[in-house]
């Protein structure tokens, strides 16, 4: 129980900082949908999908490798930190320079002719992210959750501040005659450009702070450390690429696969903006998954030598599913007011029906993260590649087959189906090589009930806003009673241990 309390405490710190940070960052959706065109949102969606892909290549699994070799290999964590950060800086210099030089070609390939600067800035953003990855990981490994959270929040505050300044304040100052067009090179016709610049400025400014708090390193490349870490991380690189394909490929390809005029009054890039904006609402679930991952990854590795770790992992999974299932229903039944609050243009609300499905997709991603512990602690990371490759194949097949026919629905189906396949495969292989006594039947039942209630609440319409709020949220009552009924024995055990 003390282990679970420790995990819960760490997750709470990461969770509160993530929720606060995302809430602040979430305001950017209002800013973007209020001041930017749907076409600019489409550009934002596709370029940041590309960033997600390239970020995996820039870090190539070294974050998880750092955790593994710092905790379970009888190595000096300081040596592991220095070697990991050193090799990552060298590779970042090479990859960042290569992407910077390829920017003109990439701008043509992605249909942004004459805007190579967008991809030069992208190269810098990715480089800054990569050299921050291991210092952030070290803060987690050292249980410095408050410092980690502070650094993340500082980054978000800076990003939001620069976005507001560049997208909202400067245009109003120009309209008021306070400054003139061209002030500090400012251009009123830019949109996605200022999103990238704000990100670039914010990331660059926190590098000294994070490096200082994580502890400075000595540059060293020791073969006896680098080579086994490399061997461990390469399968994770391919897993990451396949995984990010599952998460981001729909947003990257959506505008290119959707037939023109599929949605009346919108071109394909504008429809891609609607698709991406609704993905942003589903990120409410993803931030919980991310907060859990921040706390759970070092926790899982630290518990790997405990003979009771399989039982502990099963309890963590069960608690995770209960919490996230309830959260999915709570968000879904309130989308009728959450959607218009954050998506300021009515055109974005045409894709709101996707959100419960995307919430389930992110929940399945969290389940997969729980399941994946078996191949990480047994050093069987090769399986991660094949499992995520299968998910990527499902994603790509569904996107190419269904997006041209069903638009938004096809794109959201690709998310839920790919993570479902990955969970099933990871569970089957995991039970063969590292059995964990998951409560599979009950957990699956909770997921099905939560999904049905989510869409039931989403489509329920009682007329007035007040009646809708009361009626939709009333669906949480039977779900809560069901959880209390089925978990009463576990609750009794918990009460006895805390008294």
Q: Per-residue pLDDT tens for 115-126?
A: 899 999 999 999
Q: Give the rounded distance of the alpha carbon of 27 from its chain centre.
A: 17
CA atoms within 13 A on the CB side of 11: 20
User: Phi and psi of 437, rounded to 5°?
Assistant: -80, 65
Give the pLDDT confidence of 220-276 residue by residue, as tens digits. 888 888 888 888 888 778 777 766 776 677 877 888 899 888 988 888 888 888 888
Using left for φ > 0, alpha for ψ between -120 and 50, and beta otherwise, residue 343 falls in beta
DSSP per residue over 304-323, as a string?
Answer: TT-TTHHHHHHHHHHHHHHH
Q: Are 423 and 368 a contacting pair, CB within 8 Å?
A: yes
Looking at the predicted structure, is the pLDDT value of residue 482 above 80?
yes
Contact partners, residue 78, CB within 8 Å, separation at least 6: 217
Q: Which two tokens stand for residue 424?
A: 């099933």
Give the pLDDT confidence of 175-220 residue by residue, as tens digits. 888 877 777 778 877 878 888 999 999 999 999 999 999 888 888 8
**Greatest alpha-carbon span in the chain:** 70
Give SS3 for 301: helix
Number of residues that make up the chain: 499
Average pLDDT, the chain: 84
User: Phi and psi of 438, rounded to 5°?
Assistant: -65, 150
Quote the CA–CA distance of 369 and 223 in Å, as a whole number.
Answer: 30
Quote the CA–CA distance of 276 and 49 in Å, as a whole number.
Answer: 10
Give the pLDDT confidence of 24-70 residue by residue, as tens digits. 656 677 788 777 777 777 787 788 878 888 888 998 888 888 888 88
Query: Which residue reads 């938004």 in tokens?
Result: 408
Cα dist. 186→165, 196, 200, 402 in Å?
Answer: 11, 14, 16, 41
Quote the CA–CA distance of 49 and 64 in Å, as a whole number.
Answer: 22
Q: Are 306 and 73 a contacting pair, CB within 8 Å?
A: no
Quote the CA–CA distance of 247 and 240 in Å, as a whole number.
Answer: 10
Q: Which two tokens stand for residue 34?
A: 């209020």
Give the pLDDT confidence of 427-464 residue by residue, as tens digits. 999 998 899 999 999 999 999 999 999 999 999 999 88
Looking at the predicted structure, is the pLDDT value of residue 1 above 50?
no
At 12, the pLDDT band (50, 70, 90 cuts) reads low
Q: Which two tokens stand for residue 287?
A: 């931030």
């Amino acid at each position: 129980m003390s282990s679970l309390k420790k995990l819960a405490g760490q997750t709470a710190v990461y969770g509160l900082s993530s929720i606060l940070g995302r809430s602040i960052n979430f305001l950017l959706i209002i800013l973007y949908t209020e001041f930017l065109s749907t076409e600019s949102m489409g550009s934002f969606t596709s370029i940041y999908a590309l960033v997600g892909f390239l970020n995996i290549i820039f870090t190539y699994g070294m974050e998880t490798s750092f955790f593994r070799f710092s905790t379970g290999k009888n190595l000096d964590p300081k040596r592991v930190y220095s070697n990991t950060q050193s090799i990552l800086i060298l590779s970042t210099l090479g990859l960042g320079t290569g992407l910077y030089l390829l920017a003109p070609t990439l701008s043509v390939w992605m249909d942004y002719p004459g805007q190579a600067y967008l991809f030069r800035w992208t190269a810098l953003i990715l480089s800054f992210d990569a050299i921050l990855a291991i210092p952030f990981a070290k803060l987690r490994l050292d249980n410095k959750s408050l410092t980690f959270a502070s650094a993340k929040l500082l980054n978000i505050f800076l990003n939001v501040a620069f976005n507001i300044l560049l997208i909202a304040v400067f245009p109003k100052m120009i309209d008021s005659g306070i400054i003139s067009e061209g002030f500090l090179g400012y251009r009123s016709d830019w949109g996605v450009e200022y999103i990238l610049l704000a990100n670039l400025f914010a990331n660059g400014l926190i590098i000294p702070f994070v490096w200082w708090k994580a502890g400075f390193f000595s540059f060293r490349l020791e073969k006896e450390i680098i080579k086994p870490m490399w061997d461990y991380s390469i399968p994770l690189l391919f897993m990451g690429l396949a995984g990010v394909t599952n998460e981001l490929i729909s947003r990257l390809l959506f505008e290119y696969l959707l037939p023109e005029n599929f949605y009346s009054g919108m071109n394909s890039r504008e429809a891609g903006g609607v698709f991406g904006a609704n993905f942003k609402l589903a990120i409410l679930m993803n931030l919980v998954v991310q907060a859990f991952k921040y706390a759970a990854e070092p926790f899982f590795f630290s518990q790997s030598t405990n003979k009771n770790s399989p039982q502990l992992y099963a309890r963590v999974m069960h608690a995770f599913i209960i919490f996230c299932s309830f959260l999915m229903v709570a968000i879904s039944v309130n989308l009728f007011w959450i959607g218009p609050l954050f998506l300021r243009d009515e055109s974005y609300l045409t894709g709101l029906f996707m959100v419960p499905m995307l919430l389930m997709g992110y929940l399945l991603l969290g389940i997969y993260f729980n399941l994946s512990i078996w191949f990480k602690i047994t050093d069987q990371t090769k399986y991660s590649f094949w499992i995520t490759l299968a998910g990527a194949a499902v994603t790509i097949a569904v996107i190419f087959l269904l997006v041209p026919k069903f638009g938004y629905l096809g794109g959201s189906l690709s998310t839920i189906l790919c993570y479902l396949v990955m969970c099933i495969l990871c569970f089957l292989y995991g039970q063969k090589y590292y059995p964990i006594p998951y409560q599979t039947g009950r957990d699956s039942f909770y997921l099905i009930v939560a999904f049905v209630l989510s869409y039931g609440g989403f489509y329920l319409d009682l007329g007035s806003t007040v009646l809708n709020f009361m009626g939709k949220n009333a669906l949480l009552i039977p779900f809560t009673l069901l959880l209390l009924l089925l978990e009463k024995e576990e609750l009794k055990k918990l009460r006895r241990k805390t008294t």
